[in-house]
Amino acid sequence: MRRPKIEPVVWQPPKPSARKPRDPLPPVTVININGTGPEDVVVDEKGHVFTGVDDGRVLRLTADGRRIDTIADTGGRPLGLELHPDGRLLVCDSDKGLLLVDRTSGDIETLVPRGEQNLRVCNNAAITENGTIYFTDSSQRFDLEHWRADILEHSGTGRLLRRDPDGSLWVVLEGLQFANGVALAADESYVAVAETGAYRIRRVWLTGPKAGTNDVLLDNLSGFPDNIARGSDGLIWIAIASPRDLVLDTLHRLHPKLREIGWRLPERVQPQPKRTFRLQAVDTEGTLVHDHGGTVDGFSVAVGVREHDGRVYLGSLVERAIAVYDVP
């Protein structure tokens, strides 16, 4: 498919930290599945693991991974998943929009279709106890298949949106660098959103004296933050899909024409995600609690993370597998 034109913006990335993961990656179990790119994972009350793959199917795995069922087919590209308070599965689909999927019948209800409020790349979400949904629109410039273009251009057209239980839709925050993962603080005092292209996580205050304002929760991360999620432990877990790339950081600082040239090169010679990934967890104040990193045979580019009852479940952008490990 023909690549869209990019209009790069000069950016001065923060000097990368030399910090390595504080803790080694615990032993990881890789569970093969019958689909590619299980981008996000969520676990229900019975221990079933749900994920979506690149052919549009939404899968349910038993806790031991031995049985895999297709519960629905969105006809698009399911990305972020959440359990809705009404018992259904909330699905962020980059092609179809914000969806609700019945976990038994597979029936699909469209809450926000692609195109409404200019929604282009519905990516990830978090839901309050009363059913208010915060979700990201990664880019107003490029479709999901051209996510690299958004990272290279650095024009900051990502958004955080809110859908209220009555169906009303609001733009909460604009100007985000490839808006990605979303998570609510345990007390729902703020909603956090990952900016993959800026190596940071922003937050918007929902309650208290700062309500309506936004600030930075975490900055100058070691790599590209992707999906984030609040675990059953109350911590916000962060999937850092790949470490920062020196070539890409250098290109951001130089004349935009160099990035235009780089975008026209074959994809195989452009900066690529590395096999090393990192998982971090922070408390409500942003203090680091867990920091695991490393490589795993048969699993890479961990873009989804979910802690549930002391176990961490990982999704991948490229593999035909999910991965699981126990929190030390």
The pLDDT tens digits for 90-122 are 999 999 999 999 999 999 999 999 999 999 999
The count of domains in the chain is 1
Q: Are 221 and 16 in contact (CB under 8 A)?
A: no
DSSP string across 165-178:
TTS-EEEEEEEESS
- pLDDT value for 201: 98
- 3 inside domain: no
- pLDDT value for 266: 87
Q: Are 311 and 326 in contact (CB under 8 A)?
A: yes
- 207 inside domain: yes
> Beta strand 169-176 with 288-294: parallel, antiparallel or unpaired?
unpaired
- pLDDT value for 19: 81
Q: What is the span of the domain harbouring residue 105?
A: 23-326
- pLDDT value for 68: 97
- pLDDT value for 1: 61
* 5-172-177 Cα angle (round to 5): 35
User: Tokens in use for 281?
Assistant: 């967890």
pTM above 0.95, yes or no: yes
Residues 6+ apart with CB under 8 A from 232: 307, 308, 309
- 138 inside domain: yes
Residues of the chain with pLDDT under 50: none
- 217 inside domain: yes
- 13 inside domain: no
Please give the Cα distance from 52 to 328 (Å, whole number): 28
Return the amino acid letter for 271: P
- pLDDT value for 141: 98
User: Tokens in use for 152?
Assistant: 């290279």
- 110 inside domain: yes
- 7 inside domain: no
Tens of pLDDT, residue by residue over 37-75, are 999 999 999 999 999 999 999 999 998 889 999 999 999
CATH of the domain at 281: 2.120.10.30
- 15 inside domain: no
User: Tokens in use for 49?
Assistant: 């693991």
